[in-house]
Amino acid sequence: MESKFSVSRKGILFVISGPSGVGKGTLTEMIVEQNHLQYSISATTRPPRVGEVQGKDYFFLERSDFEAMMAGDEFLEWAEVYGNYYGTPRRFVLDNLERGQDVLLEIDIQGAMQVKAKFPEGAFIFIAPPSEAELAQRLEKRGKDSSETIANRLLCYDKEMAQMANYDYVVVNDELESTMAQLIAIITAERCRVVRFIGGG
């Protein structure tokens, strides 16, 4: 008789969120490289920033194309963030999980909660800045956004931080090396959870 115990497991869905400017982009890039994770490229109606590449950073779409994908139920989740649509193409994520490949989503809180409803067994990680002042400073230093956009993003700060309660883990992005060490510890522990190996996970 074949044993029901197996040392192979299904892919894990890792979801990372946090306030804009907290450093998610850099962290995500490093984690994906070092931890054999498949990054899910989102679709967005936001115009590309300088240096961003179509199909690598995002699938940059016209609003009408995004809406056609919504109508076709092609998103695992989607949300309107700061006036633009953002969404996770469904097929790519499901195919990877099915073949045992862990996937990483870097999405906003509204999207993360939609994913949690569908994949409660996912690992939900909230990246927090050391303080609001530090976050404001990082947004200004990054120089990617207008002062109006920055002010708008800071207005959401309290509301966003309160959402931390809906995540499994919080990591304060204080210093890159220790933040990375914490993220790697979370990923490693999640991969070793018994539930991943005996069904359900």
Query: Which residues form the interface with ligand 5GP (CB under 6 A)?
Result: 20, 42, 46, 77, 79, 81, 86-88, 106-108, 110-111
Would you say 35 or 110 has its CB closer to ligand 5GP? 110
Return the number of the residue (79 or 128) whose C-beta is nearest ligand 5GP.
79
User: Which is nearer to ligand 5GP, 26 or 188 (by Cβ)?
Assistant: 26
Angle, in degrees to the nearest 10, between helices 176-191 and 24-34:
50
CB of 86 to ligand 5GP, least distance (A): 4
Report the residue number whose CB is nearest to ligand 5GP. 111
* Continuous H helices in 77-193: 90-98, 109-118, 132-142, 147-155, 157-162, 176-191
Please, what is the minimum distance in Å from the beta carbon of residue 2 to ligand 5GP? 39
Cβ of residue 66: shortest distance to ligand 5GP, in angstroms?
11
Which of residues 93 and 187 has its CB atom nearest to ligand 5GP in the complex? 93
Are residues 77 and 115 in contact, defined by beta-carbon separation less than 8 angstroms? yes
As measured in angstroms, the least distance from the Cβ of 196 to ligand 5GP is: 24
Whole-angstrom Cα distance, residue 9 to residue 48? 37
Least distance CB 26 / ligand 5GP (angstroms): 12
167-201: buried (b, 16+ CB within 10 Å) or exposed (e) per residue?
Answer: bebebbbeeeeebbebbeebbeebbeeeebbeeee
**106 versus 190: smaller Cβ distance to ligand 5GP:** 106
DSSP assignment letter at 42: P
Block residue for tokens 């499901």: 94
